[in-house]
C-alpha cells in the first residue's frame, strides 16, 4: 500500500540532516551558521516536495521531532500552541495557516 511518504522528496537524503539540533545560547557563530545553512537546505528540499501538505499535517498531529513539512520543530510548536488556545473547531483554518507559513518559509521569510 502506498502512502504520501513514497513521494517524499527527502527520500534518499541523510536522515540525520532532518533532526539537526537547534544551537543553544552558548553555541558558536560557526554552529549557528551551520544550523542556518542546514535549515535553508531543508526548506529548499521541502519547497519542491509534492507531499508537503500531508507531511506537515502529520507532523502537527503527531508532535514529531525534526524538520517536517518545511517547518522546524519550534515553528510547528508555535502552530500547535495557537491550535491549543483556539480549540479543535479551528483545526482546518489553522492547518491552512500552517501551510501559508510553510509557503512563507519556503520563500525564506520565516527565520
Ligand atoms: S515536505 Fe519536506 S520533510 Fe516532508 S516529505 Fe517532503 S521533503 Fe520530506
Query: pLDDT digit string (tens) for 61-94?
Result: 998 899 999 888 988 888 888 777 776 555 555 5
Which is higher by pLDDT, 80 or 103?
80
**Ligand 1 site, CB within 6 A:** 8-10, 45-46, 49, 51-52, 55, 68-70
Whether residue 41 lies inside any domain: the answer is: yes
On whether residue 3 sits in a domain, the answer given is no
Q: Which atom of ligand 1 is nearest to the CA of 8?
A: 5
pLDDT bucket at 111, cuts 50 / 70 / 90: very low
In whole angstroms, give the CA distance from residue 62 to residue 50. Answer: 20
Determine, yes or no, domain membership for 35.
yes
> Looking at the predicted structure, is the pLDDT value of residue 104 above 90?
no
Is 2 within the bounds of a domain? Answer: no
User: Does some domain include residue 4?
Assistant: no
Q: Which domain holds residue 20?
A: 15-106
For residue 27, being part of any structural domain is answered with yes
* Listed residue (41, 60, 73, 44) closest to 99, CA to CA: 60
CA 48 / ligand 1 centre spacing (Å):
9
In a domain, 25, yes or no: yes
Number of domains in the chain: 1
Q: Mean pLDDT in the chain? A: 83
Q: Is 6 part of a structural domain of the chain?
A: no
Amino acid at each position: 500500500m502506498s502512502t504520501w511518504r513514497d513521494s517524499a522528496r527527502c527520500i534518499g537524503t541523510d536522515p540525520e540532516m532532518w533532526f539537526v539540533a537547534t544551537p543553544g545560547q552558548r553555541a558558536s557563530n560557526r554552529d549557528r551558521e551551520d544550523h542556518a545553512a542546514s535549515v535553508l537546505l531543508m526548506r529548499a528540499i521541502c519547497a519542491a516536495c509534492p507531499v508537503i501538505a500531508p507531511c506537515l499535517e502529520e507532523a502537527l498531529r503527531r508532535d514529531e521531532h525534526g524538520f517536517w513539512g518545511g517547518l522546524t520543530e519550534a515553528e510547528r510548536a508555535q502552530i500547535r500552541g495557537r491550535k491549543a488556545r483556539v480549540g479543535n473547531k479551528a483545526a482546518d483554518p489553522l492547518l491552512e495557516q500552517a501551510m501559508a507559513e510553510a509557503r512563507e518559509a519556503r520563500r525564506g521569510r520565516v527565520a
